[in-house]
Amino acid sequence: MMRRRSFLQGAAAVGATAMLPRRASAAADLKPIYAQIEKRHDEALARLQEWIRQPTIAAEGRGITEGRDLTMRLLRDAGFGKVESVSTDGSPGIFATLDAGAPRTIGLYFMYDVKQVDPKEWSSPPWDAKLVDMPKLGKAVMGRGAVNQKGPEATFLAALHAIRGAGKKLPVNLVLVAEGEEEIGSPHFPQIVGQPAVRAALKRCEGIFMPSAGQSTDGTVTIALGAKGVIECELVSTADTWGRGPKKDVHSSNRARIDSPAWHLVQALNTLVTPNGDPAIDGLFDKVRPVADRDRGYLDDAAKRIDEATVKKSLGVERWARDASWRQALEDLASKPTVNIEGLVSGYTGPGGMTILPHRAAAKLDLRLVPDMTAADTLAKLKAHLAKRGFGDIEVNMTGGYDPNSTSPDSRLTRAEAKIYERAGIKPILLPRSGGSWPGYVFTGEPLKLPAGHFGLGHGQRAHAPDEYFLIESTDPKIFGFDAAVRSHVDYLHELA
Amino acid sequence: MMRRRSFLQGAAAVGATAMLPRRASAAADLKPIYAQIEKRHDEALARLQEWIRQPTIAAEGRGITEGRDLTMRLLRDAGFGKVESVSTDGSPGIFATLDAGAPRTIGLYFMYDVKQVDPKEWSSPPWDAKLVDMPKLGKAVMGRGAVNQKGPEATFLAALHAIRGAGKKLPVNLVLVAEGEEEIGSPHFPQIVGQPAVRAALKRCEGIFMPSAGQSTDGTVTIALGAKGVIECELVSTADTWGRGPKKDVHSSNRARIDSPAWHLVQALNTLVTPNGDPAIDGLFDKVRPVADRDRGYLDDAAKRIDEATVKKSLGVERWARDASWRQALEDLASKPTVNIEGLVSGYTGPGGMTILPHRAAAKLDLRLVPDMTAADTLAKLKAHLAKRGFGDIEVNMTGGYDPNSTSPDSRLTRAEAKIYERAGIKPILLPRSGGSWPGYVFTGEPLKLPAGHFGLGHGQRAHAPDEYFLIESTDPKIFGFDAAVRSHVDYLHELA
């Protein structure tokens, strides 16, 4: 009852100011909003810290309900009128709308889960969300989820608070979908987006974006016109499915007379790649679309504008795979499918040795997909490849994944994004595709076919790694701190209107 | 001072009864000793439980000093006159002698360390040493080290207590060496045995044995006329030595442009074995001695006397490697060198996935060696094999290991062993070689060239596995309980005299 009433009240309140001419007043309107951003800095930061302090880790089934509830409260506090939990076969999603009575409606994609942590590896505890001094950067909040994705999401929510605080109405209506399984490959996200009410709301959107902190340490921003798809899976070799080897760990002397599931896995894995470590799965490249001329142009430009040495240093590499040039390395990242080992685990993994013949061996893989590969087709090819070579007994357990996505540089969403960056003095670097993945295919694919991407200034790093951070107070004039990142969202929403 | 005085007192006390004619009185002598075994059952069991409750794990550097000190006390309590700690570059050894004034001297090899545990996997906590009921077997003490090797060692010590308790003197002198690194491949054991005083004492021995619980669940006992050698090593692939790949874990999307130390390791490992999982290391078989006719005879006999189905069931296997016959599987265990994966570890090993490209991958291997292979030569061949195939950057860190050993079936030690078993109604099964390993080469090799093996009746299982146990009170007339196992040591010492 409460939820329905607040939705109706929200709609009525918005209706009262809906007749103001938007275009003409936009520039003048924003100053009081900017003032509100500064005034509300502490409360916005506290909101982000509270969020980080609530761990939600899908891979460990940890804090799902608490994280979902907190996110729903944060959305209501930011002015979303309708905020509903959406059941799935896994973690619940969230569907929220904010009807501002505006002519245009924009979609938002949020995630409320984060990656696992090993607290031992962190210099500041991952759930403390402490403010730390970062050399050459300024003050940052450090914690799991700081940049991926709670920090950027919190800047977006702070923009909504500032607009309301200034007594203004939102220039666009919002439709928001959130999931709590992004970090395990969004296995149930299609169930959320496929709900009739959610799909109907998304159909009204011009496009959909996820808040992000797009700035590198040199202040540049890239716009990726799509993302690779992904399959995360575990390959498991056991005596149970193989019919060979021991059903439990036995003394290693038995290797002389008992087969080894670990060797069986190593031999299976070895068939999946070329000596260079590139995919060797039968037919994997059949559907790979060649790099388009348009994309070659973007890559030529990107290779000139992104500093190779800085990237190499931040990644800790001395040379690129296949000894590629910088230009080629950028193309590879955007256009090459991959088969990667995330983890290997078998038998004894502690200090020293342990003379056992393990009964089980597993490899955690991720495969990155480019157009026109699909997750379903690639998984089938992986299984057929293994079966053909005598490894059909090896279980291939897909834990998550989805198809690649693409968005046109000519969409209003992308053009507005570029415009806001340019207004901030930053000429964005366009890339044909991000090397990483996000489940944008549910928006860009059938039946919605929406433009979909990321937006946001500001800076943070070490997603999925220890000491993840999001910059709050910047000492580098080229890099936006928290309040400036919030302003970029205010600007973007008005530009989209 | 205390140590020296008790040594002299012990020697004097023994001297007083040294003139009794041994042979003639032997049979009559043993009854009071047997009575003492029963009388001292509870104290002997408590001694074993105290020993198990002191974890000593070389792989984890845990409880070394405490385990060494406790073992030294147990040896003194059992009548050893001289008990000294022997420093090494690793865990200290123990050198102990018991001079009974007897004409013959027998060597003993003890270990005071045990394998690691994962307490979650145990039905009774591994350091509680609780008495548990074992279906069809009787009462057993359960805990890490119960059968490997504290239980059998405690039965030997109980034999010494019983002999002294009966007012008898030992029929042989004893020289004992113990180490605390058996479970990591005895890397410093040669330093202990190589000490001039230790070597001089061992030179006086007719042979050397380790107490063991030799009975299977069907009551049979095998005598292994030697053991395989072993190399335990870790193969490590990192960007630091490879010069390729990332120096820290990076986001897995980078696989498109950054090399993977995990794939590099998988490819290196794959070269080490044939499709059957057998060794494919260059030249590994050059020094492998063919199976001798004598050994074929032992194997023919063993294949008839050991029940294949029982062994398969206890190991949890449905078929042998290469679909070998039972006779062939026994030969393989005794005669084939192996390359086994004990453990694989790279990147993320927890639940679900983690989209990283790991900077490091490691495989824990053990290689089993047969005559005339040596640990040093095999390690060199492994390294050369990898280097020749472009994997010379992969670190090969040997953590322990040693050469194989052999003992003649015609040695007094082995003949006495067989005689005691036969007297107990058990015709021992002779095997050319144990599939497992122990560092007997320090005794059987130059310069000592002693017969060396194991001795003991009684039963226990699950060495290196959860729920390791050693039988205390047997309900199966074919299997010896604790007191009967103690008696076997009393008999053996008198037979050796």
Nearest partner of A456 among A42, A207, A159, A44, judged by Cα: A159
pLDDT tens-digit map of A339-386: 999 999 999 998 888 899 999 999 999 999 999 999 999 999 999 999
- Predicted confidence at residue B21, as pLDDT, reads 33
User: B263 CB near a chain A CB, below 8 Å?
Assistant: yes
Pairing of strands A208-211, A452-455: parallel
User: Are B317 and A245 in contact (CB < 8 Å)?
Assistant: yes
- Predicted confidence at residue B23, as pLDDT, reads 42
**DSSP code per residue over B315-375:** HT-SS-GGG--HHHHHHHHHH--EEEEEEEEEE--SSS---EE-SEEEEEEEEEE-TT--H
Residue corresponding to tokens 């002698």: B97
Range 60-99 of B in CB contact (< 8 A) with A: 60
- Predicted confidence at residue A22, as pLDDT, reads 37
Mean pLDDT of B375-392: 98
Nearest partner of A151 among A490, A458, A480, judged by Cα: A458
Count CB atoms within 10 A of the CB of residue A449. 10
Looking at the complex, report in whole angstroms how far the Cα of residue B463 sits from the nearest Cα belonging to chain A.
Answer: 8
Range 200-239 of A in CB contact (< 8 A) with B: 228, 230, 232-234, 239
Q: Which of A21-25, A98-102, B441-445 has the lowest mean pLDDT?
A: A21-25
Chain A environment of B302 (Cβ under 8 Å) = none
User: Are B319 and A244 in contact (CB < 8 Å)?
Assistant: yes
Distances (CA, A) of A255 to A96, A348, B148, B341: 58, 15, 20, 9
- Tell me what ipTM this predicted complex has: 0.88
User: Are B399 and A437 in contact (CB < 8 Å)?
Assistant: no
Specify burial of residue A164 (Cβ count, 10 A radius: 0-12, 13-18, 19+): middle
Indicate if the pLDDT at residue B492 is higher than 50: yes
Residue corresponding to tokens 């009854």: B31
**Beta carbons of A330 and A299 less than 8 angstroms apart:** yes
Q: Which of A451-455, B40-44, B72-76, B311-315 has the lowest mean pLDDT?
A: B311-315
Indicate if the pLDDT at residue B11 is higher than 50: no
Indicate if the pLDDT at residue A28 is higher than 90: no
Chain B environment of A346 (Cβ under 8 Å) = 341, 343-345
Chain B environment of A116 (Cβ under 8 Å) = 348, 350, 352, 354
Chain A environment of B368 (Cβ under 8 Å) = 252-253, 255-256
User: A394 CB near a chain B CB, below 8 Å?
Assistant: no
pLDDT tens-digit map of A407-430: 999 999 999 999 999 999 999 999
Cα A365 to Cα A281: distance, rounded to the nearest angstrom: 13
Residue B30: CB partners within 8 Å, gap ≥ 6?
Answer: B490, B491, B494
- Which of A244, A318, A436 is the closest to B251 by Cβ? A436
> Can you name the residues that pair with B369 across neighbouring β-strands?
B229
**Beta carbons of B493 and B106 less than 8 angstroms apart:** yes
Cα nearest neighbour of A278 on chain B: B256
Cα A150 to Cα A114: distance, rounded to the nearest angstrom: 9
Mean pLDDT of A222-228: 96
Percent of chain B with pLDDT over 70: 94
Which of A114, A233, A255 has the highest number of chain B CBs within 10 A, making it the mutation to test binding with B?
Answer: A255
Residue corresponding to tokens 């000139």: A304
Percent of chain A with pLDDT over 90: 90
Which of A184, A249, A253 has the highest number of chain B CBs within 10 A, making it the mutation to test binding with B?
Answer: A253
**Beta carbons of A131 and A233 less than 8 angstroms apart:** no
Indicate if the pLDDT at residue B15 is higher than 50: no
Chain A environment of B399 (Cβ under 8 Å) = 352-353
Mean pLDDT of B294-322: 95
pLDDT tens-digit map of B432-474: 999 989 999 999 999 999 999 999 999 999 988 899 999 999 9
Residue corresponding to tokens 């905020």: A83
User: A254 CB near a chain B CB, below 8 Å?
Assistant: yes
pTM for the whole structure: 0.87
User: B291 CB near a chain A CB, below 8 Å?
Assistant: no
Indicate if the pLDDT at residue A26 is higher than 60: no
Looking at the complex, report in whole angstroms how far the Cα of residue A367 sits from the nearest Cα belonging to chain B.
Answer: 9
Range 418-447 of B in CB contact (< 8 A) with A: 434-437
- 3-class state of residue B69 by DSSP: helix
Nearest partner of B421 among B454, B375, B385, B468, judged by Cα: B454
Indicate if the pLDDT at residue B431 is higher than 80: yes
Cα nearest neighbour of A62 on chain B: B351
Categorise residue A125: left if φ over 0, alpha if ψ from -120 to 50, beta otherwise: beta
Size of interface A-B (CB pairs under 8 A): 311
Count CB atoms within 10 A of the CB of residue B107. 25
**DSSP code per residue over B81-150:** SEEEEE--SSS-EEEEEE----S-EEEEEEE-------GGG-SS-TTT-EEEEETTTEEEEESTTIIIII
Chain A environment of B357 (Cβ under 8 Å) = 340, 342
User: Are B342 and A355 in contact (CB < 8 Å)?
Assistant: yes
Residue type, B186: S
User: Are B256 and A332 in contact (CB < 8 Å)?
Assistant: yes
Starting from the edge strand earliest in sequence, which strands make up the sheet with B173-179, in order? Answer: B82-86, B93-98, B173-179, B105-111, B208-211, B452-455
Nearest partner of B267 among B168, B389, B182, judged by Cα: B389
**Beta carbons of A304 and B232 less than 8 angstroms apart:** no
Residue corresponding to tokens 């403390």: A128
- Predicted confidence at residue B5, as pLDDT, reads 29
User: B135 CB near a chain A CB, below 8 Å?
Assistant: no
Cα B208 to Cα B198: distance, rounded to the nearest angstrom: 13
In the numeric block, which tokens belong to residue A485? Answer: 């990142």
How many Cα neighbours within 13 Å face the side chain of A264?
31
Cα nearest neighbour of B438 on chain A: A253
Looking at the complex, report in whole angstroms how far the Cα of residue A27 sits from the nearest Cα belonging to chain B.
Answer: 40
Indicate if the pLDDT at residue B200 is higher than 60: yes
In the numeric block, which tokens belong to residue A378? Answer: 């690639």
User: A453 CB near a chain B CB, below 8 Å?
Assistant: no
Phi, psi (degrees; rounded to nearest 5) at B494: -70, -35
pLDDT tens-digit map of A211-221: 999 899 889 99
User: Are B354 and A343 in contact (CB < 8 Å)?
Assistant: yes
Residue A293: CB partners within 8 Å, gap ≥ 6?
Answer: none
- Which of A252, A333, A345 is the closest to B366 by Cβ? A252
- Predicted confidence at residue A18, as pLDDT, reads 30
User: B158 CB near a chain A CB, below 8 Å?
Assistant: no
- Residue A84 carries which DSSP code? E
Phi, psi (degrees; rounded to nearest 5) at B109: -115, 120
Cα nearest neighbour of B317 on chain A: A246
Nearest partner of A364 among A461, A265, A216, judged by Cα: A265
**Beta carbons of A208 and A107 less than 8 angstroms apart:** yes
Taking each helix axis from N to C end, the angle separating B22-39 and B151-165, rounded to the nearest 10 degrees, works out to: 110
Average pLDDT of chain B is: 93
Chain A environment of B364 (Cβ under 8 Å) = 347-349, 353-354
**Beta carbons of A97 and A160 less than 8 angstroms apart:** no
- 3-class state of residue A29 by DSSP: helix
pLDDT tens-digit map of A123-148: 999 999 999 999 999 999 999 999 99
Indicate if the pLDDT at residue B420 is higher than 70: yes
- Predicted confidence at residue A93, as pLDDT, reads 98
Count CB atoms within 10 A of the CB of residue B478. 14
- Predicted confidence at residue B27, as pLDDT, reads 55
Looking at the complex, report in whole angstroms how far the Cα of residue B241 sits from the nearest Cα belonging to chain A.
Answer: 12
User: Are A341 and B345 in contact (CB < 8 Å)?
Assistant: no
